[in-house]
Amino acid sequence: MTALVEYQNGNAKIEIQSDGTRIIDYDQELKLDWPLNIDIRVSNRCSNGLNPKTGKARCTFCHESATTDGDECDYTQLLEILEPLPEGIELAIGCNRVTRKLHDFIQFCSWRGWVVNLTINQDHVNRDYALLINLIHTHSIRGLGISYRHDFFDRYNSTFSKLPALLKLENTVMHVIEGIDDFEQIFKLNEFGVKKILVLGEKDFGFNLGRVTNSPNHLYWLRNVHRLFDQFEIISFDNLAIKRLDIRRFFNSESWNTFHQGEHSFYINAVDRTFAPSSRSFNKVNWNNISIQEYFKQIVD
């Protein structure tokens, strides 16, 4: 596999391959100077968010509490905050809309040498397709996440749908949520061209605060998750899903230590101008009070 990026981070040599695989090579204890990746929220405005006029949201479980009249961040300020990062750092950007400002910001990040991965809601693919495909063809984004919605099957065969073309790309990953999405529908996604999936844990945060339960759907996921392993070319899990679905039980110690790289990242809410350990943390710090490197060192020490 071709190496997309190679760089030194603390006592570790980091290699990111063209298919998205990340290899960390180090001796003894891992000591990083910089986060391996950073999750960034650039907007709290979403067409599926809470509509202040109706008091309703389509994505009632949204942990980011997006609204239909929310704001987009100041990308100039965000770039100033990111400037110290060395080449090779991965930026995972959650996208509610591919605006021209976001498009230009991502292109600059790519030029700067950072590896940009973008996640977009399935329902927004058609609307934002022109700018999105430009970012893909210019290699400004290296990985594309598509957040699954339950009406995937109804819209898939539409002559207006751009989704099938995106699913054919090597680095497109469908994002699903354990306990919220129907497991058997997820199981059948490979019949529609989905090759890779990322399972996210249901977050007890935002609109979904206090609503996470051990429902029959959650238990079904827990008991059947192993069936997904041979159903897709790649299946991965975020740290919350690893915990909630007890993924550790399927690995021996050697394979676990090879595949599970831990969590060496943090979260930037660029709208509110804050750092946090994760997108579901109440522990927030104003980004004017501490640098990226200082904050990372603080949360890992």
The answer to whether residue 46 is domain-embedded is yes
SS3 222: helix
Q: How far is CA 226 from CA 183, 250, 264, in A?
A: 11, 8, 26
The answer to whether residue 174 is domain-embedded is yes
Overall domain count for the chain: 1
Q: What is the CATH number of the domain that holds 116?
A: 3.20.20
Domain containing 100: what range? 40-300
The answer to whether residue 5 is domain-embedded is no
**Spatial separation of the C-alpha atoms in residues 209 and 204, rounded to whole Å:** 5
Q: Which of 90, 78, 41, 37 is nearest to 63 (CA)?
A: 41
The answer to whether residue 30 is domain-embedded is no
pLDDT in the model for residue 3: 85
Q: Please give the chain's pLDDT, 301 residues, in tens.
A: 688 899 999 999 999 998 888 999 999 889 999 999 999 999 999 999 999 999 999 898 999 999 999 999 999 999 999 999 999 999 999 989 999 999 999 999 999 999 999 999 998 999 999 999 999 999 999 999 999 987 655 555 555 588 889 999 999 999 999 999 999 999 999 998 999 999 999 999 898 888 888 899 999 999 999 999 999 999 999 999 999 999 999 999 888 887 887 778 999 999 999 999 999 899 999 999 999 999 999 998 7
The answer to whether residue 250 is domain-embedded is yes
The answer to whether residue 183 is domain-embedded is yes
**Spatial separation of the C-alpha atoms in residues 283 and 279, rounded to whole Å:** 10
The answer to whether residue 296 is domain-embedded is yes
pTM for this structure?
Answer: 0.93
The answer to whether residue 19 is domain-embedded is no
The token pair that represents 81 in the structure block: 């905050």
